[in-house]
């Protein structure tokens, strides 16, 4: 059965097609994963207080290792907003996962909840409390999971696993490990109609790519200021990926905490490390084209789609200037495919929240989520 969709909306203002140019910057996500489908387990029932009512939990719920993930140390945070640290052979190093539970999660031990997997941008880390956007923490009827995507993991299994960065199988980590780990440990709805993926900047690209690569997993997809076109039509987006791999300084960085990000994305690796050569010579760049979300939109025919963009105030030094052109191109292709979607171009941010001025910034993304989260919760509620 076709899942409930987010209702299409007329754009607030028309997006302007950006001039494609190879430039350095940073952004978002990418490729296929494998892994056994998760089997929900019985989660321990909440303790009860006097009178038989569930007691307020003292801290985060205990989670059991599995699916290749091993927890390190103890969870930090509250019962409904906490961070765990895990290791996995799939990705070198330690990785944090932030989990946001509805306020009444402990009070309804028999209830299962839909889940939004929310993917962050380049230079972000889920341990940063700023990623727990107010609209996400205020959600009443869904769980949000924010997994580490690396400073420049690009949400894909890298082509070069022998680089100085070590193992970089980000898609396998997320879809083959994090998803089943969450579903085995928390009371989740496990059908695609009650599972969504969304993200910002680098994560916006990742969200579209994951939804296209694993359409059986996700019934809803959200891309906010995403690098949604890796084709030769948008060489600027390829430049953004390359800049993070080679540690080239760029003004295209927009971390969620609102502060300028540094240009150290980890060990410098080859520009070919993720998708092979980015240069379109004799089809040598075919992996970039294969990972390009804008060319695979037909795979979202039965998926609710939401896109948000600003215009960077017309400033080419702001990543959002280029993002708008990409978003417009994706919108036009969705129209050509006759696929419904929810699209918002808030331009310079006028009327789109007090902290949004049209740039590639957290203030705009926070307002995107104010608009999106109620729509997503309504779509979850309407799904059978």
Res 237: pLDDT: 87
- For residue 233, what pLDDT is reported? 76
pLDDT of residue 236: 85
Task: Quote the number of domains for the chain.
Answer: 1
**pLDDT tens, position by position, 52-98:** 555 566 799 999 999 999 999 999 999 999 999 999 999 999 999 99
Q: Does residue 39 lie within any of the structural domains? A: no
- Per-residue pLDDT averaged across 103-119, rounded? 97
CATH of the domain at 337: 3.40.50.1820
Per-residue pLDDT band for 174 (boundaries 50, 70, 90) equals very high
363 found inside a domain: yes
Q: Is residue 32 part of a domain?
A: no
pTM for the full predicted model: 0.86
Q: Establish if 137 belongs to a structural domain.
A: yes
pLDDT higher than threshold 90 for residue 148: yes
Residue 37 lies in a domain: no
pLDDT at 377 over 60: yes
Any domain includes 289? yes
Per-residue model confidence as pLDDT tens digits over 247-278: 886 544 555 555 555 567 889 999 999 999 99
Provide the pLDDT for residue 19. 26
The range of the structural domain enclosing residue 304 comes to 95-382
In a domain? residue 230: yes
Residue 42 confidence (pLDDT) above 80: no
Please state, in angstroms and rounded to a whole number, the distance separating the CA atoms of residues 193 and 213.
16
Rounded-to-integer distance, Cα 68 and Cα 63, Å: 14
Q: What is the rounded average pLDDT for all residues in the chain?
A: 86
* DSSP per-residue codes, 255-318: -TTSSPP-S--SS---TTTTTS--S-STTTTHHHHHT-GGG-GGGGTTSEEEEEE--GGG-TTS
């Amino acid at each position: 059965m076709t899942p409930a969709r987010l209702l299409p909306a007329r754009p607030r203002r028309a997006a302007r097609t950006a001039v494609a140019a190879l430039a350095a910057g940073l952004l978002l996500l990418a490729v296929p994963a494998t892994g056994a489908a998760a089997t929900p387990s019985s989660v321990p029932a909440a303790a009860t207080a006097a009178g038989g009512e569930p007691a307020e939990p003292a801290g985060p719920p205990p989670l059991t290792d599995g699916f290749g993930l091993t927890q390190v140390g103890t969870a930090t945070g509250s019962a409904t907003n906490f961070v765990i640290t895990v290791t996995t052979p799939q990705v070198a190093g330690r990785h944090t996962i932030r989990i946001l539970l509805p306020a009444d999660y402990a009070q309804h031990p028999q209830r299962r909840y839909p889940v939004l997997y929310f993917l962050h941008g380049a230079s972000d880390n889920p341990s940063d409390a700023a990623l727990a956007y107010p609209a996400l923490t205020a959600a009443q009827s869904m769980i949000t999971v924010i997994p580490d995507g690396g400073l420049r993991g690009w949400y894909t299994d890298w082509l070069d696993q022998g680089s100085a960065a070590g193992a970089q199988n980000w898609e396998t980590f997320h879809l083959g490990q994090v998803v089943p780990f969450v579903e085995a440990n928390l009371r989740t709805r496990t059908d695609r109609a009650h599972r969504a993926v969304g993200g910002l900047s680098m994560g916006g690209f990742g969200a579209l790519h994951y939804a296209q690569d694993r359409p059986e997993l996700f019934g809803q997809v959200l891309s906010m200021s995403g690098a949604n076109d890796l084709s030769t039509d948008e060489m600027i987006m390829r430049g953004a990926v390359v800049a993070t791999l080679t540690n080239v300084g760029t003004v295209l960085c927009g971390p969620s905490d609102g502060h300028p990000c540094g240009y150290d994305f980890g060990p410098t690796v080859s520009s070919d490390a993720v998708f092979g050569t980015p240069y379109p010579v004799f089809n040598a760049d075919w992996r970039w084209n294969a990972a390009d979300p804008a060319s695979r939109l037909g795979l979202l025919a039965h998926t609710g789609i939401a896109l948000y963009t600003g215009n960077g105030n017309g400033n080419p030094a702001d990543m959002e200037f280029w993002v708008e052109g990409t978003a417009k191109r994706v919108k036009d292709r969705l129209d050509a495919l006759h696929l419904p979607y929810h699209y918002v171009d808030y331009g310079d941010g006028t009327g789109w929240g007090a902290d949004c001025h049209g740039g590639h910034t957290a203030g705009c993304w926070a307002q995107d989520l104010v608009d999106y989260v109620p729509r997503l919760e309504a779509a979850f509620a309407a799904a059978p």
